[in-house]
Structure 1
Amino acid sequence: MQESRPRLAAKKPSVWRTIGKRFLRDKFLYLLALPGILYFLLFKYVPMYGVLIAFQDYSPYLGMMKSPWVGIDHFVRFFSNPDFFLLFRNTMAINLLNLIFFFPIPILLSLMLNELRITFMMRIIQSVIYLPHFLSWVIIVGISFLLLSSGDGAINKLLVELGFEKINFLTNPDTFWGMLTVQSIWKDAGWGTIIFLAAIAGVDPQLYEAAKIDGAGRIKQMVHVTLPSIRHVIVILLILRIGHIMDVGFEQVFLMMNSIVSDVADVFDTYVYRLGVREGQFSFSTAVGLFKSIVGLLLVIGANMLAKKLGEEGVY
């Protein structure tokens, strides 16, 4: 009787071989994603090399390799600057107002648009609320000046006709933050409904049928079916929004800012422009930008961890 030889274990394919097979299998999907990958590589990752000048006394004549290193001197100077708390207050206040008032508006618009049963009317409304997104901030600010100026502004003229006094919207520090929030809502709230409408379209229709059988009306269906079904999308977008809480948007603030409201309008973005571009303090302005990026990263990580502890999916 012949002895049975032990069977050799099947050789496990290497990682690179597995990756190569998957790449060949999904080559058209990777080709479709190639423009986006190149965009992030060229404009997001390659420029990270320039972060080094935040730790140097950078001189364009010496270059990055020969400029002297100063360590964290620029960060110490920034944090000890009296302007730091002013910039931090203005940036956080504007972003918190956007987070409280701007972020829920696309959700509410999406819910209302989803309740429209006349397709033609729904498309017209969508087109109208999408349109401001394609206008530049220069046009948005120009329209704001025409509406809100204390001299010939349409709103002030209406107030005078109704027997009220004129309001200096553009030069009143008390109304500046609210004015920026209203502009952001008008410009981008409609565009923000795209993702939420797509999420609502993926809700199982049988859930609505079951709710109808249980006697739920349109509002109860919205509250107990639609909102819970798109909750994961809301959480993900909220986390990403929190990550941009240090980015106000340079163009909008820069165009609306004037000397009278500078104490409430000056933010990190305008500060970087003023010191980095106009005054040539490249290393110092890079340090400010790096600080913003680190804070944004920490906020995303913290918000994601909190979302997972609360039972949500999170970003990663």
Structure 2
Amino acid sequence: MVPDTHAVGRSGPVLAHLDRPRTPERTTLAVFADAHLTAEASGTWKVLHRTEERLRAAVADANRRDVDAVLVAGDLTKDGAPTEYALTDEVLAGLDAPFVAIPGNHDVPKPRWDPYDAPDRESFARRYASGHLPFVERVGGVDLVGLDSASNADGSLGGTHEGEVGADQRAWLDSVLPDLETPVVAVHHNVSHPSTHAEGFPESDLYQVNDADAVAALLARHDVPLTLSGHLHWPGVAPLAGGHELVCPAVCSFPQAYVCLHVGPDGTTAELVPLADRAGLEEAYVHAREGAAHGRGVAARADSRLLDELLLAEEAGPPLVQRAGPPKREAPHRADRVEP
């Protein structure tokens, strides 16, 4: 499938300028999230029939930019089926740069719903994370730390789409962070409550990791400047534990984009990279507006004029995090289940 040539190569708006992390050498990291790749499904607010086209466009654009590495921040596949993983491997093999991935809730075994065996943590790590999960990978001047919030040893996450870092990974993180010069932590589920990044999404206990307070305390103790996550399908940057959390947009659904991080002596710039042209965006918006509760939350963000600000402006203005950040409020009580 040929990538959308109208989208590949476009410069996107700046999502944020951050004082940290800083590195003496310039490092460029592409972050893809929530591709939900499938060749056998269509429709839904995730625009499943476009998933291969969008991921191929992301690969082509990352190659054009000559990035130092690519992080896939979870939900590589629609539901972890063998055919979906085979297609994922084929598409990601087109990357010129090295890549690593962390699993999302749609990549791991869910025996309650799936009639097949998705890769467990060890299998996923061998395939996408140099054999180790959690992991630390040096990318230029950045220490990229990958965590698994989608599965755990006792299997308790196998019947839910909730996320948790867990005591074992937190202990591991506590042991490795003191030795890292410039840590950037990646985890699929969000550490901050989604309302910190965007209003309009359904109340649910599925977005934020269950042990968010413990994870945030650990990040604060080690002064981690940047945490990357996905899962929400909407871009956002907000303060977290003395640093920031950057939530990456979905490759599959509106706004169909990825984040290119530029880290250097002056700090970090997060650039939003569009993967669809105007027609593709309009299609994704319609699917979101008519889809499940999460999709309608995405459409509500578009209705607030962020469609124009995010992806259709010809020139990037001031960082969007300064123009479009929602006011802070206390996290509401976790409520009804929805599937992100």
TM-score under structure 1 length normalisation: 0.21
The structure whose residues are more often strand, as a share, is: 2
TM-score under structure 2 length normalisation: 0.20
The structure whose residues are more often helix, as a share, is: 1
Bigger-Rg structure (1/2): 1
